[in-house]
Amino acid sequence: MLSIFYTLLKTPFYTFKYRDRHTIIVDMLKAIAKSRKGSRKTQIMQRANLNSNQLNKYIDILLRNGFVIIEGYRYKLSSKGLKFLENVESDVLRVQWRR
């Protein structure tokens, strides 16, 4: 009985109460990257699990920094945004290999 309790304590808890800005931006970029045609605001909001105020705030940041471009009413990743997303994913893989 006690050994089961210890194994439960050792398992990682991946539930976050709050996300940092970096995580939100990466979630948004992943949400945009899922569609080749581009993603609408509602799709990004649902996939990244954001409300409309957060979405507008972070979309503005991504647009000003050149990570995302607008084509009509859809948002697409720019080459800069794609490179950033690839770098983040490669960093995550490196961290996982260290464990």
Residue 63 lies in a domain: yes
Cα angle value 91/51/85 (rounded, 5°) = 20
Residue 55 lies in a domain: yes
For the stretch 9-48, pLDDT in tens is 454 555 557 888 989 999 999 999 998 899 999 999 999 9
Q: How far apart are CA 81 and CA 63, in angstroms?
A: 10
- pLDDT for position 90: 82
Q: How far apart are CA 78 and CA 96, in angstroms?
A: 27
Residue 12 lies in a domain: no
Q: How far apart are CA 29 and CA 85, in angstroms?
A: 7
- pLDDT for position 5: 42
With bands split at pLDDT 50, 70 and 90, how would you rate the model's confidence at 88? confident
Higher per-residue confidence, 6 vs 28: 28
CATH number at residue 55: 1.10.10.10
Residue 64 lies in a domain: yes
Question: CB-based contacts of 26: which residues, under 8 Å, 6+ apart?
Answer: 85, 88
- Strand-pair category, 68-71 with 74-77: antiparallel
Q: Which amino acid is at 79?
A: S
Residue 7 lies in a domain: no
Residue 11 lies in a domain: no
Task: Report how many domains make up the chain.
Answer: 1
Residue 50 lies in a domain: yes
Residue 79 lies in a domain: yes
Q: 69: domain range?
A: 19-98
- pLDDT for position 82: 92
For the stretch 37-86, pLDDT in tens is 999 999 999 999 999 999 999 999 999 999 999 999 999 999 999 999 99
The beta strands (E) that lie in the chain are given as: 68-71, 74-77
- pLDDT for position 18: 82
